[in-house]
Each structure stands twice: as structure tokens, then as C-alpha cells.
């Protein structure tokens, strides 16, 4: 702060006042923009998904951040040991009634709540979409033979119902609640999308009378949605004509294979479900909304925005 004040004083006293003032205005503008972005990425509140223990859980541990990996250009948060799922809420300043439940990736070993979570909030909030980032349960407590997606799916379905039950509080329309899912979260998102209103847990309270069906889904590099033995979609992904519209993004050079994304699109197409698929030449995996060298993958939010407009998801009503 002292340096900023000294800079201001020097600018006002200098013979070269116009150029210094220009620099000062630029400095203040950048600072204001940076502060606005940071503020947009701070959750207004964090809420628990379940009233007490989650299904088949014995722990209320909300998880522990892992040490930051050295050499990352911009640090990425990784939270492991999540046994009590929570939702970070980023409400739109001027809500249009739409909400997005974000499912980060992490291979079910951990959850990435910033790169594949809160960093999407400024983009969506600006369009009037409120953002809810789910820190779903990780794989520590999975029982033998239990699919790793099972507990995250339960958390997703409960979270969808919880958001709908609080629609008035967040100025939402209960038929405008969608998913934005990345990587392992994209696998869960694809399953949740195809299951519609079919729940994977026993109802526990009045909240579970709400629908858990996403009204739309944006699946970004959905991870391992193919069965390795059959090279077909996972058995848990059963697309029907009742599925909601979907927007899918992948890259050709992603080791998790864009074939899965393409087959998911084909299943939607065959069932006459509105869908859009974008396969970029390069960009790899795990980019979120960030740039990748020599790739245009960071333009996918622009395509998603266009799709949201075409689907009339951004219109206030």
C-alpha cells in the first residue's frame, strides 16, 4: 500500500505528469480487475450435501489438500480423503435463473476444486449462471467391487436435489439446473446424464422428492467412459430419448481417448437428443479453462456460450 501511495505522489509531482498518470490509471485498473476475479472465485458459502453421514460412510472428513506439485505454472489444488461431500457456492450477481453443478476431476483419488471448479465461476457468473462446485467423495472408502463412480454419483444426485430445494434462496428456476463436469467428474456426469431421474441411493428426507435429473450437461474431456474390454460405452451409461441436451468437449491427443466422447455423442444422436461435440486437434487433458501452448483448446467456453444461447439456457424467464 505504501509503495502505491508513493507511486501516486511521484506521479502528481513529476514534470512528466501525463505519462505517469496513465501508468497509475493502468495500475489501478489491473488491480481492480484482479480483485474482481479473485472475489468471483471466493465461495459465498459452503454447504454440506448430506444432513449427516453420506450413504455407507463412517467418517465426516471433508478432505485434506495435498502438497502443491513443484513446477506448476499456476498451482492446482487437490483435495483427497473426502468422505463428507460439500458444495462451494458462487452465486451470480445478476442471476437469470440458471445454475450449474460443477464436478471437478481427479481420477477419484482427489478432487480439483479450482482448476476444474471455481475457475469456471467468473465465466458463468457473468452470464447470470450461479455456480455450485461439488467436492464429492474420493475412493478411500470404496468397498471391494464397488464402482469408483458410485459414491460421487450419489453425491451428484443429492446435490442436484439440494440445489433445487433451495431454488428460491438462490433465485433459480428448478428446470434450469445443469452439470459442468470435467475428467473423472465427466465420467460421473455422463452417467448422471444418462440416468436422468433414476436415483442410486435410498431417499432420506423431503429433499429427495426433488428431481436429480440434469436439465443440460456440459461434459469436458470425460475420462474413461469406454469399457476397456468392449471399447463401447460403460454399461452404466445408458442413453435414452429422455436424456437432456448435452455439450461435449475433447481433444484428439487426449490419452483418455476422444472415442468415448464421440460414442457418447453418437448415442445421443441415435436417441434424437440435442447434442453438440467438439474434438480439438490438441491440448491433452486436464486444462480446465486454461490456455495450452500451441493449442486453441481454451476457446471451448466460447463454443459452450454459443450453445447455451442456442438452447435458450441464458434467457431470463
Other C-beta atoms lying within 10 Å of the C-beta of residue 310: 13
Residues contacting residue 278 through CB under 8 Å, at least 6 positions apart = 248, 249, 250, 300, 303
Cell numbers for 233:
460405452
Q: What is the DSSP string of 6-56?
A: HHHHHHHH-TTHHHHHHHHHHHHHHHHHHHHHHHHTS-SEEEESSSSSPTT
% of residues, the chain, pLDDT over 70 = 87
What's the pLDDT score for residue 316? 76
Asked if residue 302 lies in contact with residue 268, where contact means CB atoms within 8 angstroms, the answer is: no
C-beta of residue 297 within 8 angstroms of C-beta of residue 280: yes
What pLDDT was estimated at residue 161? 98
pLDDT of residue 73: 85
Intervals of the chain under pLDDT 70: 1-41, 317
CA atoms within 13 A on the CB side of 52: 4
287 three-class SS: coil
Distance CA 144, CA 33 (A): 49
Amino acid at each position: 500500500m505504501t509503495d502505491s501511495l508513493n507511486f501516486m505522489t511521484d506521479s502528481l509531482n513529476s514534470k512528466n505528469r501525463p505519462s505517469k498518470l496513465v501508468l497509475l490509471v493502468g495500475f489501478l485498473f489491473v488491480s481492480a480487475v484482479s480483485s474482481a476475479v479473485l472475489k468471483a472465485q471466493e465461495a459465498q458459502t459452503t454447504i454440506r450435501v448430506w444432513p449427516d453421514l453420506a450413504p455407507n460412510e463412517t467418517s465426516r472428513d471433508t478432505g485434506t489438500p495435498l502438497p502443491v506439485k513443484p513446477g506448476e505454472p499456476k498451482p492446482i489444488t487437490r483435495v483427497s480423503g473426502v468422505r463428507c461431500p460439500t458444495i462451494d457456492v458462487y452465486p451470480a450477481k445478476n442471476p437469470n435463473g440458471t445454475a450449474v453443478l460443477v464436478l471437478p476431476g481427479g481420477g477419484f483419488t482427489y478432487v480439483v476444486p479450482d482448476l476444474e471448479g471455481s475457475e469456471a465461476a467468473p465465466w458463468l457468473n457473468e452470464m447470470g449462471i450461479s455456480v455450485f462446485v461439488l467436492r464429492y467423495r474420493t475412493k478411500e472408502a470404496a468397498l471391494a467391487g464397488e464402482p469408483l463412480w458410485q459414491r460421487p454419483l450419489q453425491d451428484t444426485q443429492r446435490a442436484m436435489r439440494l440445489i433445487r430445494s433451495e431454488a428460491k434462496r438462490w433465485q433459480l428456476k428448478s428446470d434450469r439446473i445443469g452439470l459442468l463436469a470435467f475428467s473423472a467428474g465427466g465420467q460421473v456426469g455422463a452417467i448422471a446424464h444418462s440416468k436422468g431421474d433414476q436415483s442410486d441411493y435410498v431417499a432420506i428426507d423431503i429433499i429427495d422428492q426433488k428431481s436429480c435429473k440434469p436439465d443440460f450437461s456440459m461434459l469436458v474431456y470425460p475420462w474413461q467412459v469406454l469399457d476397456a474390454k468392449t471399447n463401447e460405452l460403460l454399461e452404466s451409461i445408458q442413453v435414452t430419448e429422455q436424456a437432456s441436451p448435452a455439450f461435449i468437449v475433447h481433444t484428439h491427443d487426449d490419452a483418455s481417448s476422444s472415442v468415448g466422447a464421440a460414442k457418447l455423442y453418437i448415442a445421443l444422436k441415435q436417441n434424437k437428443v440435442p447434442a453438440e461435440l467438439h474434438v480439438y486437434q490438441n491440448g491433452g487433458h486436464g486444462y480446465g479453462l486454461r490456455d495450452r501452448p500451441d493449442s486453441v483448446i481454451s476457446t471451448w467456453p466460447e463454443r459452450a456460450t454459443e450453445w447455451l444461447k442456442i438452447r435458450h439456457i441464458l434467457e431470463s424467464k
